[in-house]
Amino acid sequence: MATKPKQKLTLLPQTINARNKGIDLDLDWIASIQANTSAIERRASSIASRRSVKKQHQAAWLLQAVKCMDLTTLSGDDTTGRVKRLCAKAKNPISIKILENLDLDNITVGAVCVYHDMIETAVSKLKGTGIPVAAVSTGFPAGLSPLPLRIAEIEYSVSAGASEIDIVISRRHVLTQNWKALYDEVKDFRKACGSAHIKTILATGELGTLRNVARASAVCMMAGADFIKTSTGKEPINATLPVSLVMVRAIREYHEKTGYKIGYKPAGGISKAKDALTYLSLIKEELGDQWLNPELFRFGASSLLGDIERQLEHHITGAYSASYRHAMG
């Protein structure tokens, strides 16, 4: 009896998109943005239950999640040794044994995200790999430093070699509906970033309402954000599906009106492979396959990779391995 040939997993192709140049602040557009909370929550609750991905399809989606991951360490006790180990994991996030069983070559993560002091270490360890180094900036996580200091922090990080800057907005501008101040702030940050891409962290858990989240998302994109990001990971409430739905729909509207594709990054609290699949489903259904690549979608994660490895090993062997076998270092 002939054996069925092994089916090779294929990953989604990568694309190159024009960078968002920003547009003039449109207060009429901002004022027109509303958010139906009950409808948003109903739609968000249906995402995980409506789409079930199994077997080799699940494995392919999980591998794509790895490629879209910002491998992150943002702890007060970070050391150069920890960052070096993180970079080693970023270069080889999935074990060779698993990749061989899936008939795949090596893959890498989307980026490594660190504090400013660790940029040079990360850049040195990732040289020649094509993996960008992202740095949190602008008084992360509160964002309450004086504006000149926040701008200078961005410039220092860019000069140290960071090619992506994760900035935090001033939440007070959103809570007081001071959209001009928020627009000017993000525009100044974008200018300081230069060629480095800017990811704007909204800290959605501190913005009060979904309408505020939607309006803040639109203002940041008008000011030239390359990505909009949910959270610092330090708030009591981080990435949630209702918030993510609001933000990706803001991205869709901005793309329809301007032609620019803005990236999305949920961060904080995403630690299980099944959560990654849910977020990938959300992006596929709301924005389409073009957003399912590291240019336009990232996970902010520190523990997600270990669970994805466990799920891939289960796909191959039928058994779950212990968590300590997939330590981040």
What are the residue numbers of the active site?
166, 229, 265
**Residue 173: C-alpha distances to residues 9, 231, 295 (Å):** 46, 16, 28
Pairwise CA distance, residues 250 & 228, whole Å: 10
* Residue type at position 92: N
3-class SS string, 276-323: HHHHHHHHHHHCCHHHCCCCCECEEECCHHHHHHHHHHHHHHCCCCCH
User: Hey, how many other C-beta atoms are within 10 angstroms of the C-beta on 216?
Assistant: 29
What's the rounded Cα separation, in Å, for the pair 233 and 65? 19
Gap between the Cα atoms of 315 and 311, Å rounded: 6
* DSSP strands (E only) in 37-157: 69-72, 111-114, 133-136
Q: Please answer whether residues 248 and 214 qualify as being in contact, where contact means their C-beta atoms are separated by less than 8 angstroms.
A: no
